[in-house]
Amino acid sequence: MLGAIVTEIWPSAFGRILAAALACLPVAAAAQTALSRADYSVLKQELDAVIDFETLPRRPEPGFRLDAPMREGRAWLSERLAGQAVTGAPHDRLMGHPTGPLQVAENNLGANLSIAFHRGFGSNALFPLGPAGFPATAGRGEGAVAILFDHGQRALGLRVHSDYPAPLGGAAPQGSVIITFYTRSGARIGRMRRRLDPGVTELGFRRAGGVADIAAITVTNDDPGGIALDDILYQTAPMAF
């Protein structure tokens, strides 16, 4: 009886389902192998540069408002890449495809980025500003960040602070951070989503085969309390490793 049922559906529905599943396998495999997670502490020893935002004086939150792209080391930081649009509330979402060659772009005044002393990190940190804007607490950390490197990267790392741990466990559950990786032409290499820990989450990533073609990343999140970024690891001279 079962054999008859299988024989009956094979030429049509079953065959189409199987063909569709097989067609998706190479794409899924490629997406999984384009990037892999790496130990942040290991990358800290391997990579020769860090963006720590200590070029500005330490000022308590809300800190300094950045309405134009920021140059730090051999990288540019802003809210988005040219060609993308910002939408969503209460968290920013990046829509559309970046245009190549990549360039950073800003959004509306007061809704881009800020830098302030962060007591969780114990140092200056970057706050992506969400729709509520500067200096509202509700907009501090709900925004998007784009980082464009002068040289292609084969690996990079960053530290993300989501929320302060509640001593009695009463805080809302942490959300996730979403990091998207792009080549210099604007092609998407891959996207990694990670559930955040209370406090600081250290993240590291490697390109498959050690290919140094990560030209930029964008960072968004859905954490209820928003995020701050610090200690972004990268390499100044990819050809040297």
Helix, strand and coil content of the chain, in percent to the nearest 5, comes to 20, 40, 40
Place of tokens 């990358």: 43
Q: Cα–Cα distance between 38 and 86 in angstroms, integer?
A: 29
pLDDT of residue 237: 81
CB neighbours (10 Å) of residue 26? 9
Q: Cα–Cα distance between 13 and 231 in angstroms, integer?
A: 52
Tokens matching residue 99? 């245009």
pLDDT of residue 171: 64
pLDDT of residue 25: 45
Q: Identify the bridge partners of residue 148 per DSSP, sorted by sequence position.
A: 76, 216
pLDDT of residue 164: 66
Q: Is there a contact between 108 and 84 (Cβ–Cβ < 8 Å)?
A: no
Per-residue pLDDT of the chain (241 residues; tens, 9 = 90+): 434 433 333 444 444 444 444 444 443 344 458 999 999 999 999 999 999 999 999 999 999 999 999 999 999 999 999 999 999 999 999 999 999 999 999 988 999 999 999 999 999 999 999 999 999 999 999 999 999 999 999 999 999 999 766 665 566 789 999 999 999 999 999 999 999 998 999 999 999 999 999 999 999 999 999 999 999 999 998 655 4
pLDDT of residue 8: 38
Q: Is there a contact between 172 and 225 (Cβ–Cβ < 8 Å)?
A: yes
**What is the biggest distance separating any 2 CA atoms in the chain, rounded to whole angstroms?**
77
CA dist 35 to 25, 95, 157, 181, 204, Å? 17, 22, 13, 9, 10
Q: Identify the bridge partners of residue 125 per DSSP, sorted by sequence position.
A: 116
Tokens matching residue 164? 């302060």
Would you call the peptide bond into 101 cis, given omega within 30 degrees of 0 as the criterion?
Answer: yes
Q: Cα–Cα distance between 81 and 100 in angstroms, integer?
A: 10
CB neighbours (10 Å) of residue 174? 22
Q: Cα–Cα distance between 105 and 76 in angstroms, integer?
A: 10
Single-letter code of the amino acid located at 12: S
